[in-house]
């Protein structure tokens, strides 16, 4: 079978098309497509991952931008909350927002890993080790 047809199959499967739809588009039997699916499992998986990454770049913010955005909002909410009388109803909503942003930032927390070269071996220091070492 022509490699161009197989490449189209890989592309269609990566996009989630069913075997029936692909069979009609390519004029290849469903049995052959199932066999190709086994043969090209890695290619299909890699193409799916690449397409997902492209969509994420297009529609979602990267981790650094999210942390910056939510961190700035959290600071603004804290400043506004500090000005408020806690008996006001909108204050509850500010508390809710503050908690939500705090929880989101906690989910984005990254464990820092530092490396240090010593003669022929490499030592890895994890953030918790550094905190303990600083004292």
- Residue with more model confidence, 120 or 22: 22
pTM comes to 0.44
Name the residue among 40, 29, 39, 26 with its Cα closest to residue 14: 40
Q: Tell me what the mean pLDDT of segment 54-75 comes to.
A: 78
Q: Enumerate the β-bridge partners of residue 2.
A: none
| Distance of alpha carbon 75 from alpha carbon 86, whole angstroms | 18
- Per-residue model confidence as pLDDT tens digits over 84-99: 765 565 777 878 888 8
CA torsion 44-46-47-51 (nearest 10°) is 140
CA distances from 105 to 52, 97, 99, 102, 117 (A): 24, 12, 10, 5, 32
Note the pLDDT of residue 32: 94
Task: Please check the confidence at residue 22 and state whether its pLDDT lies above 80.
Answer: yes
* Percent of the chain residues past pLDDT 90, beyond the cut: 27
The position carrying tokens 């029936």 is 20
Residue 28's φ and ψ, nearest 5 degrees, are -120, 145
* Residue 74, helix vs strand vs coil: helix
Q: Average pLDDT, whole number, for the chain?
A: 79
Note the pLDDT of residue 36: 93
Residue 21 per-residue DSSP state = H
- Where exactly are the structural domains of the chain? 3-59, 63-107
């Amino acid at each position: 079978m022509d490699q161009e047809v197989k490449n189209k199959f890989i592309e269609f499967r990566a996009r989630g098309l069913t075997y029936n739809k692909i069979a009609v588009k390519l004029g290849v039997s469903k049995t052959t497509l199932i066999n190709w699916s086994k043969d090209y499992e890695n290619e299909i998986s890699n193409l799916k991952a690449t397409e997902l990454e492209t969509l994420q770049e297009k529609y979602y913010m990267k981790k650094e931008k999210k942390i910056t955005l939510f961190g700035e909002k959290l600071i603004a909410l804290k400043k506004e909350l500090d000005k408020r009388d806690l008996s006001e109803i909108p204050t509850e909503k500010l508390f809710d927002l503050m908690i939500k942003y705090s929880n989101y930032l906690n989910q984005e927390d990254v464990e820092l890993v530092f490396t240090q070269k010593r003669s022929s071996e490499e030592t890895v220091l994890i953030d918790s080790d550094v905190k303990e070492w600083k004292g």
